[in-house]
Structure 1
Amino acid sequence: MRRTLFAAAIAAATSLPALAQDAWPSRPVTLMGGFPNGAGTDIYARRLAEPLSRALGQPVVVDNRTGAGGNIGSDYVAKARPDGYTFYFGTAGTHAINAALYRNLPFDVMRDFTPVVLLGDVPNVLLVNPEKRPNLRSCQDVLTAARARPQALSYASTGNGASTHLAGAQFATAARLELLHVPFRGQPGAVASLLAGDTDLFFNQTGAAMGPIRQGQVRPLFVLTRERLAALPEVPTVAEACGLPAMDTSTWYGILGPANLPEPIVRRMNTEVNRIISTPEFRAWLVENQAISPPAAPNTPEQFRETQRADVARWAEVVRRSGATVD
């Protein structure tokens, strides 16, 4: 009898994690971001949180912990319990570029995270302030002004080594220009500098740029993609506008969890998010409102991992060529 009771107790104890896992989620889920309110990641995360809350049956809370190019938020999630209640709204910046940019990260972008689902590709668009810089109406105007006076034209970015910085660096290298880079801590400062006329250019991500474009605050000169965007059909590509070789500085958004996140939780989260972003309404918002390209088909965690792995190598070379560093 004692042996039977002991065996039953052991069986019950070992089944507790599975039972708790089956009940996931039983409380609110946090979707951590690494950039300020109003950034492209924040806009997307908040749009996703509402339908995801309904799908999971628990609130999905967006919480931004900003600083160090997204590393503060990344580090928080890397050290969180892998119980399915803390996820990170990551980017190619936080989980590929930063691996080459920062010398002493407190985490490993591959080893310390579980890829869950890819959310889409995010292009860059060159913006100017039509009121402050009426002379910059085309790419040729930018090329002429920059070549006449090296480093006279400045471009804002959301941080040293951010995709908004590296897009500008890639363009300058391709066009053989010397532009002055002015980094800010996130989207608000960079936008404010452009609107105030303190900087001349901004190679912004489309998700955050669409609002100012539609409000007429900024003028898009070209997109740094190989094809025109459905949301900006009148805006030429960098190849069309500048006569330069085609280039694509697009990055990606994706959701990651801490390392060792249980497989059933990964699959459930992946399934629910894929279902939401595949709906006609959500896809239309992404493509037409944010100029973001969602995955063509439901994206698996394994596919996301391979995308991340390839981008770590790709952006390491871009960072090396740009000379960008963060001490």
Structure 2
Amino acid sequence: MRRRSLLALPVLATPAIANAQANWPSRPITLIGGFPNGSGVDIYQRRLAEPLSRALGQPIVVDNRTGAGGNIGSDHVAKARPDGYTFYFGTAGTHAINASLYRTLPFDVVRDFTPIAHLGDVPNLMLVSAERRPQFTDCGTVLAAARANPSRLNFSSTGNGASTHLAGAQFNAAAGVDITHVPFRGQPGAALALLSGDVDLFFNQSGPGIGMVRQGQARALAVTTAERLPSLPDVPTVAEACNLPGFVSTTWYGLFGPANLPAPILERMSAEVTRIVQAPEFRTWLMETQGITPPTVFTPAEFAAIQRQDIARWAEVVRVSGARVD
């Protein structure tokens, strides 16, 4: 009798599981971020949370679990229940670059997650402090100083493995210079180091970087895209400004859930997020204030394909640059 009851349990539980999925969401949802307040990730996820909360009829709680290039936040979501109440605002750093940059990870960036939606492509700005480094008027003056003084110049980043790190590493490799990497734990420390003169450069993400430029805090010498940004049309590309043909260093943002996220929840979340980021007002906000190219792929399968391609692409960048984190 006991055996028959145990065997029947999965069958009896199925309607309850199906009902929970049909009624999703019935309580607040947590959106995990891997980077601190004020970072490009934080700016975007908070802007997204408001309309997404209205669409789903439940509060979206933004919870930044920072450290280790976003790996702490990633690990939390990888181990979360796939019930539709924990999601991750991921990046090409957390879900492609880190797979080869870190020697070991406590999770698998593909196996332990469900890709949900691509949220746009993100460039970096090569920033200097006009007050602290007035001699750096363009990329040519930076390169001349770097070549005359190997290892003397430095650049800050928002953490090992972040795009602000890899953009600088790519620049070193492409230009044949040795500008020392100085990692910080997030945007505030990296920006303050630039503005105080503790570092020479900061390859900042476009969202917070544009804010620093428009507020007169920093000067943008170049942008890491193939073409100039509509939001900063007077800022040349690295390829133009630094005479490095073909130089491009862009990453992406994307929404992930834990592995085995139920199909009804995946489809609903993907549809709602896609509708929001395609809205004209949101697209304008992305391009004009964040320098982000809005997404051009809109299904989870398409986003998963981008992630797989970028894991291979960034593995080669990491190999060539020599960047590595233990």
Partner of 2:300 in structure 1? Answer: 301
2:277 corresponds to = 277
AA at the equivalent of 1:95: H
Structure-2 change in CA distance of 1:156 and 1:17 (3 Å): same
| Counterparts of 2:305 and 2:174, CA distance in 1 | 28
Measure the CA separation in 2 of the matches of 1:10 and 1:224. 53
Task: Tell me the TM-score normalized by structure 2.
Answer: 0.95
- Partner residue, 1:118: 118
SS of residue in 1 equivalent to 2:271: helix
Structure 2: 5+ residue stretches without partners: 1-8
Q: For the structure 1 residues 10 and 85, does the alpha-carbon distance in structure 2 shift closer, same or farther, using more than 3 Å as the test?
A: closer
Match of 1:215 in 2: 215
Residues 51 and 176 (structure 1 numbering): CA distance in 2 closer, same or farther, change over 3 Å? same
Q: How far off is 1:320 after superposition? A: 1.2
1:312 corresponds to: 311
Unaligned runs of 5+ in 1: 1-8
CA deviation string 1:145-174 (max 9, x = no partner): 111111221111112232111111111211
For 1:78-93, list aligned pairs within 5 A: 78-93=78-93
Contact 1:161 1:319 in 2 (8 A): no
Whether the 8 Å CA contact 2:174–2:247 is kept in 1: the answer is no
Residue correspondence of structure 1 range 66-85 to structure 2 within 5 A: 66-85=66-85
* Equivalent AA in structure 1 for residue 258 of structure 2: P
- Measured in 2, the distance between the counterparts of 1:23 and 1:53 equals 15
Partner Cα separation in structure 1 for residue 119 and residue 161 of structure 2: 22
Instruction: Determine the C-alpha separation between the residues in 2 that align with 1:282 and 1:68.
Output: 30
Is 153-162 or 81-90 further displaced after alignment? Answer: 153-162
CA contact (8 A) 1:34 1:69 kept: yes
CA distance in 1, matches of 2:10, 2:176: 69
Match of 2:192 in 1: 192
Q: Is the 8 A contact 1:225 1:246 kept in 2?
A: no
Name the residue aligned to 1:323: 322
Is the CA contact (8 Å cut-off) linking 2:231 and 2:291 kept in structure 1? yes
User: In the alignment, is the contact (CA less than 8 A) between 2:172 and 2:321 conserved in 1?
Assistant: no
Q: Distance in 2 between matches of 1:166 and 1:11?
A: 50
Q: Which range moved further: 98-107 or 112-121?
A: 98-107
Give per-residue Cα distances to partners, 1:51-76, cap 9 Å, x unaligned: 00000000011100111111111010
Corresponding residue SS for 1:49 = helix
Amino acid at match of 1:190: A
Q: Per-residue displacement from partner, 1:204-233 (whole Å, max 9, x unpaired)?
A: 110121111110000000111110111111
Give the structure 2 partner of residue 55 of structure 1: 55
Task: Name the structure 2 match of 1:139.
Answer: 139
Q: Which moved more, 1:29-38 or 1:10-19?
A: 10-19
In the alignment, the residues of structure 2 paired with residue 174 and residue 14 of structure 1 have an alpha-carbon distance, to the nearest angstrom, of 56
* In 2, Cα distance between equivalents of 1:14 and 1:87: 24
Cα distance in 2, alignment partners of residues 177 and 119 from structure 1: 33
CA contact (8 A) 1:277 1:294 kept: yes
- What is the identity percentage for the equivalent residue pairs of Structure 1 and Structure 2? 68
Q: CA deviation at 1:296?
A: 2.7
2:264 is matched with 264
> Are the aligned partners of 2:35 and 2:66 in contact in 1 as well (CA < 8 Å)?
yes
Indicate if the aligned counterparts of 1:32 and 1:73 stay in contact, CA closer than 8 A: yes
On the 8 A contact 1:160/1:324 being kept in 2, the answer is no
TM-score (norm 1): 0.95
Larger mean Cα displacement after TM superposition, 13-22 or 85-94? 13-22
Residue aligning to 1:163: 163
Q: Give per-residue Cα distances to partners, 1:10-55, cap 9 Å, x unaligned.
A: 9764222111101000000000001111111000000000000000
- Deviation, structure 1 residue 176: 1.3
Structure 1 stretches of at least 4 aligned residues deviating more than 2 Å after TM superposition: 9-14
- Supply the distance in 2 between the matched residues of 1:113 and 1:161 (Cα, whole angstroms): 19
* Distance in 2 (alpha carbons) for counterparts of 1:277 and 1:239: 30
Q: In the aligned structure 2, how far is the partner of 1:200 from the partner of 1:242?
A: 16
Distance in 2 separating the partners of 1:103 and 1:226: 31
Paired amino acid for 1:309: R
Q: State whether structure 2 residue 258 is matched by structure 1 residue 254.
A: no
Q: How far does the alpha carbon of each residue in 1:243-295 deviate from its partner, in whole angstroms, 9 at most, with x for none?
A: 21122110000000000000110110000001001111100000000000111
Residue 31 of structure 1 aligns to a residue in which SS?
A: strand
Provide closer, same or farther for how the CA distance between residues 13 and 183 of structure 1 changes in structure 2, counting only shifts above 3 A. closer
What is the CA–CA distance in structure 1 between the aligned matches of 2:257 and 2:159, rounded to whole Å?
24
- C-alpha distance in 2 between matches for 1:266 and 1:275: 14
Deviations 1:87-112 (A, max 9, x none): 00000000111111112211000000
CA distance in structure 1 between the partners assigned to 2:14 and 2:315 by the alignment: 44
